[in-house]
A and B are shown apart, each in its own frame.
Chain A
Amino acid sequence: MADPDPIIEVRGLVTRFGERTIHDGLDLTVRRGEVLGLVGGSGSGKSVLMRTILGLLRPSAGTIRLLGADLAALSREKLVALRGRTGVLFQDAALFSTLTVAENAQVPMRERFNWPRSLLAEMACLKIALVGLPEDARDKYPSELSGGMRKRAGLARSIAIDPEVLFLDEPTAGLDPIAAAAFDELILQLSRTLGLTVVMITHDLDSLMRITDRVAALINGKAVVAPIDELRRLDDPWLRQYFGGPRGRAALEAGHLAG
């Protein structure tokens, strides 16, 4: 699959923890502007893959190009600069618990730019408005927020300095169906209006149906990438169980009715 301008290019990735091989020659290309879902059974290495692409873990073998730069060849400074162009929403939002929502959103800006206080405050307001949080959430602490609001606040921080690619680790896990659907809409809207590339780990079949352009399934240490409709027709035992189970069928039917 030739792609002139891939955001992420993983080639022949091997990850081993001791005796256990997690990724065994994994290839993955993420195109600019797409929403890519990442699925796989427990322990199939979804989070490990995300951490490896972010440079938080070193691969045992293989190359990773993030935004055109080879991660292994980067100096510390270059890697820090590259991180400024990526945003991450961790599973439990990983908000700094001693800071308010607005202060959390300001952290990446403070770290990179020498802006006056008023501009920092205004930009934090913008990001908070972008993720659809109400005004009075700005001065609240993470412990005072509901799960859905915490995720939105985490999202505000991860898009604080306008990244080109956004990584989401189970963004809808732990949310009620209404909040989860609203969060899906938000991600879709952000990816469209901001031109964001989104890589999303999820177990939420409704999210996969609703907002992904393509889905990468991690099976036996390799990635099978295709739009979801093609993926469910593939003859693989894990995929058959995944999409053929009662939950999978329900989500697919709902998706087709809605679409």
Chain B
Amino acid sequence: MSATLKAERQGDQAVVTGAGTWLVDQVGWLAVRLRRLPVRLAGVRRVSLDLGGIERLDTSGAWLIARTERRLQAAGLEVTTAPPQGPGDADLLQHVRSLPMAHPRLAQPPGAVVALLGRIGRAMEEAGRLAVALLGFFGAIFLRTVAALARPRQIRWTALAHHVEQTGLGAVGITALLSFLIGLVMAWQGATQLVRFGADIFTVDLLAIAVLRELGVLLTAIIVAGRTASAFTAQIGAMVLNEEIDAMRVIGIDPIDTLVLPRFFALLLAMPILTFIADASALLGGAMVVLFELNIPWVQMVGRFGEVATLTHLLVGLVKAPVFAFAIALIGCWNGLRVERNAESVGRMTTQSVVASIFLVIVVDAVFSILFVRLGI
């Protein structure tokens, strides 16, 4: 079963005959043929559309007939239509004819340069707006913290403990394992180079300084950013989606007190501990290489380590942990509260949280490096 279409002209008259099944799967080629019709019938004054042979008709077919009538009339032809005979087909055609059908606008995409400039402009404007909003959020947290410290009895200790468990205890395993492996790899790479100069023992120096000052805390921050910033955004975002935040507000609970502050302080507590664990695991991993691959006796290794690893190095690493925690919690919670009321927004904000918090962590780390160099620490 398919559609047929035939056009014949005699002088200034023409007969267009349609038959068969004018259904949606035939519309593609019928549309092309019918589009050319006004051109092919140039010079004709009267057209009769004989559609009595159409056995089946759907909205797509009816629309084609209506469109053809309209085009032919627009070209100044006189059109008479013998409608299809199937039950309801004439009514369908009449209904489709009566629909208001403006021509669709096919939007012209702007040129590449204009589009690029437009995107840059929009991104800049957005970045400025976000910076102001983030500053506002920062201020709100500061105020609520002061208020909470003034009345410590109102602090949500249960929530705080829960989040310390979630963000701290829950991350111990993965942080320790990854740090151990990175320590191992670092020592191995360092040792293969240093052995060539007969400076095997300096592997300990390399490891102690790199891990304590930078790697331990950076690695922890990246794991926590991936694990916790996303979780904060998703948890708070789901509550926004479910109108729970609005419900809290109308009951008279400040969502910053209940949702943001416990997460904030939990992470501030957990991050230094995690960093310490990461430091220890990475050093342990390195020690494996030093002991079993370089065959340096452990008394010598520990002695060397004692000389190199001063408290300063440890503190330089550890002091960064709460700052990173602050950045991660800020981004995670803020993005959660920015979720709009559609499901797609939660996913987008969660991704953005991870990317933005890792970015912020690395920027802050760079600032610290410059600071410590200037201070001569």
By a beta-carbon cutoff of 8 Å, the part of chain A in contact with chain B is: 97-98, 102, 112-115, 117-119, 121-127, 129-130, 135, 138-139, 143, 159, 161-162, 192-195
**CB <8 Å contact, A115 and B28:** yes
**CB <8 Å contact, B102 and A123:** no
Q: Which residue of A lies closest to B88 (CB)?
A: A195
Known contacts A126-B63, A194-B58; 4 additional CB pairs below 8 A are A97-B343, A126-B60, A130-B99, A195-B92
Q: Shortest Cβ distance from B223 into chain A, in angstroms? A: 31
Residues of B close to A135: CB separation below 8 A:
100, 102
With A and B bound together, what is the CA distance between A8 and B25 in angstroms? 23
Task: Name the interface size band of chain B.
Answer: 20 to 34
**CB <8 Å contact, A123 and B63:** yes
Number of A-B contacts (CB under 8 A): 73
Q: Shortest Cβ distance from B276 into chain A, in angstroms? A: 44
With A and B bound together, what is the CA distance between A142 and B366 in angstroms? 43
> What mask results when residues 254 to 286 of chain B are scored 1 for a CB within 8 Å of chain A, else 0?
000000000000000000000000000000000
Residues of B close to A139: CB separation below 8 A:
107
Q: Which of B330-352 contact A (CB under 8 A)?
A: 340, 342-344
With A and B bound together, what is the CA distance between A223 and B137 in angstroms? 56
Q: Which residue of A lies closest to B89 (CB)?
A: A195
Q: Shortest Cβ distance from A108 into chain B, in angstroms? A: 10
Contact of A124 among B23, B96, B104, B107 (CB under 8 A): B104
Interface residue? B145 (CB, 8 A): no
Contact of B27 among A98, A119, A193 (CB under 8 A): A119
With A and B bound together, what is the CA distance between A118 and B342 in angstroms? 31
Q: Shortest Cβ distance from A82 into chain B, in angstroms? A: 14
**CB <8 Å contact, A123 and B106:** no
Contacts A143-B342, A162-B60 given; does A194 touch B104 at CB 8 Å = no
Residues of A close to B99: CB separation below 8 A:
126, 129-130
**CB <8 Å contact, A162 and B102:** no
Residues of A close to B92: CB separation below 8 A:
193-195
**CB <8 Å contact, A193 and B95:** yes
Q: Which residue of B lies closest to A134 (CB)?
A: B100
Contact of B59 among A98, A112, A121, A194 (CB under 8 A): A194
Interface residue? B375 (CB, 8 A): no
Contact of A126 among B96, B107, B343, B344 (CB under 8 A): B96
**CB <8 Å contact, A162 and B58:** yes
**CB <8 Å contact, B59 and A130:** yes
Residues of B close to A112: CB separation below 8 A:
25
With A and B bound together, what is the CA distance between A211 and B60 in angstroms? 25
